[in-house]
Structure 1
Amino acid sequence: MPNTLEATVDISASPEQVWRVISDPKRMPEFSPTTKRMIPLGSPGAGTWTINLNRVEGKYVYPTTSRIVRYVPNQAFAFRMLENGVVWSYTLEPIETGTRLIERRDVPNGVRKPVRMLINSFLGGEQKFEAELVRGMNETLERIKTVVER
Structure 2
Amino acid sequence: MPNKLEASIEIAAAPEQVWSVISDFKRISEFSPQTLRMQPLGRSVHTGTWTVNLNKAKGYVYPTTSKVVRFEPNRALAFRMNENGTVWSYTLEPTDGGTRLVQRRDVPKGKLPGWLQFTIDKAFGGEQPFEGALVDGMHETLGKIKRTLER
Partner AA of 1:117 in structure 2 = F
Runs of 4+ in 1 over 3 A off after TM superposition: none
What is the match of residue 5 of structure 1?
5
| Secondary structure of 2:122 counterpart | helix
Per the TM alignment, residue 128 of structure 1 is displaced from its structure 2 partner at its CA by: 0.4
Q: TM-score, normalised by structure 1?
A: 0.98
What is the match of residue 94 of structure 2?
94
Structure 2 CA distance for aligned equivalents of residues 21 and 115 of structure 1 = 30
Gaps of 5+ in 1: none
1:67-86 equivalences under 5 Å are 67-86=67-86
Q: TM-score, normalised by structure 2?
A: 0.97
Q: How many residues align?
A: 149
What is the match of residue 115 of structure 2?
114
Structure 2 CA distance for aligned equivalents of residues 95 and 37 of structure 1 = 31
Structure 1 CA distance for aligned equivalents of residues 35 and 92 of structure 2 = 21
Q: Deviations over 1:4-25 (max 9, x none)?
A: 0000000001101111111111
| Secondary structure of 2:9 counterpart | strand
Partner AA of 2:50 in structure 1 = W
Partner AA of 1:66 in structure 2 = S
Q: Deviations over 1:52-73 (max 9, x none)?
A: 000002x100000000111110
Structure 2 CA distance for aligned equivalents of residues 71 and 148 of structure 1 = 21
Partner AA of 1:49 in structure 2 = W
| Secondary structure of 2:47 counterpart | coil
Structure 2 CA distance for aligned equivalents of residues 22 and 14 of structure 1 = 13
